[in-house]
Amino acid sequence: MSEPLLQVEKVRKVFTTGSENLEVLKEISFSTPSGNVVVITGQSGCGKSTLLHLIGGLDAVTEGFIRVGEMVVSEMGEGDLTLYRRKTLGFIFQLHLLLKEFTALENVAIPALICGVPKAEAFHRASHLLSLVGLSGRLRHFPQELSGGERQRVAVARALMNDPLLILADEPTGNLDEGNARIVQEQLFSLVREYRKTLILVTHDRELAKEGDQRFLLQEGVLHPL
């Protein structure tokens, strides 16, 4: 294996409520090189989303460290974390989280516009990405004018907008029927492979899980290789 892009080392996460401590993750360790697809499965509530949030800098580890490239995410301050999330990561959630007042094209372009990319350049790239997910005819449509599968394909395009090193996907097909789920699955993996992106995906979908270069089961806070 080449030098890892992502390294998670002995990560614990404990949530404290009143006088009660709940250990959700117990010394989680794994690494993956650039271009790999890592799939993590497990029952609902087992901590899969929590692990993604820690990698994404959306929550803080209790113990251990997380490194992406040369960046030690678990030691960053909020300012550096904001830049890390904007420039290094692409997020795909179970709910598409598109902004309803913006078109598909504008929703995809927003991450680049936030980073100061000129509008014409951002819209050109957004248009190209939407064409890659089969939505070239839906650029001017608002989220409420798109089907559930189309909205999630917009979310896939948006995740790639800033050419991230790492894409984090949390149950990306969880809200879709089987037909739309397979379309989103095929397009996501096709784009990830084409652009050689590293993807960390959590899912309960067994078909989706088969696509991983590395596969893990998260159970009772412990990560088991599959």
Q: Which residues pair with 12 in a beta bridge?
A: 63
Tell me what the mean pLDDT of segment 171-194 comes to.
90
Cα 119 versus chain centre, distance: 25
Q: Decide if pLDDT at 1 tops 60.
A: no
Q: Decide if pLDDT at 177 tops 60.
A: yes
Q: Quote the DSSP letter at residue 56.
A: T
Q: How many domains does the chain have?
A: 1
What confidence score (pLDDT) does residue 2 get? 65
pTM confidence score: 0.93
Residue 66 CA to residue 47 CA, distance in Å, equals 16
1 occurs within a structural domain: no
119 occurs within a structural domain: yes
What confidence score (pLDDT) does residue 81 get? 96
Q: Decide if pLDDT at 208 tops 80.
A: no
What confidence score (pLDDT) does residue 17 get? 85
- For residue range 45-91, list pLDDT tens digits in order: 889 999 999 999 999 999 999 999 999 999 999 999 999 999 999 99
144 occurs within a structural domain: yes
Structural domain of residue 204, as residue ranges?
6-225
Q: Of how many residues is the chain composed?
A: 226
The domain that holds 15 is classified in CATH as 3.40.50.300
